[in-house]
């Protein structure tokens, strides 16, 4: 019989932005998400994570600023967040049943999810050899 001991598991999910276009972080924080192309075509502001959407695929987003830090929340409030696909209705939900594996206190801010192109992901982790460190770099 084979046994497995797993001390820590980190996963990175890359959902199809063509399908999963709506994100819910909480009851109050939900929105239609811009695509990676919308971000590439937008105007980069004072730091690279903030982009003014100038000609997005969804006209409702014109003039909005997309910033990955908009999708952060206190650990105490991050129980469930996810992405929704409307045709057919499918949800991809990240559920955190307890805080025992979190680092920091309940008011520590963590990113939930955000839009990132493949190229941005590659640039972020290009020189990182350790998989755990690369995953942490992509999610923090």
pLDDT digits (tens, 9 = 90+) for 44-82: 998 888 899 999 999 999 999 988 777 777 777 777 778
Helix axes 118-125, 131-139, angle to 10 degrees: 130
pLDDT in tens, 18-44: 777 888 877 777 888 888 889 889 999
Q: Which long-range contacts (CB under 8 A, 24 or more apart) does 115-123 make?
A: 115/17, 115/33, 115/34, 115/35, 115/36, 115/39, 115/66, 115/68, 116/36, 116/68, 117/36, 117/39, 117/40, 118/14, 118/36, 120/36, 121/14
Which residues, including other chains, have CB under 8 Å from residue 50's CB and lie 6 or more apart? 44, 65, 66, 67
Provide the β-strand partners of residue 74.
Answer: 109
pLDDT in tens, 78-114: 777 788 888 888 888 877 777 666 666 666 666 666 5
Cα separation, 76 vs 98, whole angstroms: 10
3-state secondary structure of 74: strand
DSSP state of 66: E
Q: How many residues does the chain have?
A: 140
This prediction has a pTM of 0.60
């Amino acid at each position: 019989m084979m046994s497995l001991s797993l001390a820590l598991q980190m996963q990175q999910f890359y959902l199809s932005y063509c399908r999963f276009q709506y994100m819910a972080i909480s009851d109050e924080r939900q929105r239609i998400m811009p695509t990676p192309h919308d971000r590439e075509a937008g105007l980069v502001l004072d730091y690279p994570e903030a982009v003014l959407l100038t000609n997005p695929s969804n006209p409702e987003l014109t003039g909005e600023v997309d910033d990955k830090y908009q999708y952060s929340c206190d650990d105490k409030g991050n129980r469930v967040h996810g992405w929704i696909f409307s045709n057919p209705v499918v949800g991809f939900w990240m559920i955190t049943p307890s805080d025992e594996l979190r680092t920091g206190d309940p008011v520590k801010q963590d990113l939930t999810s955000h839009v990132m192109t493949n190229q941005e992901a590659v640039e972020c982790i290009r020189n990182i050899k350790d998989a755990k460190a690369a995953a942490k770099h992509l999610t923090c």
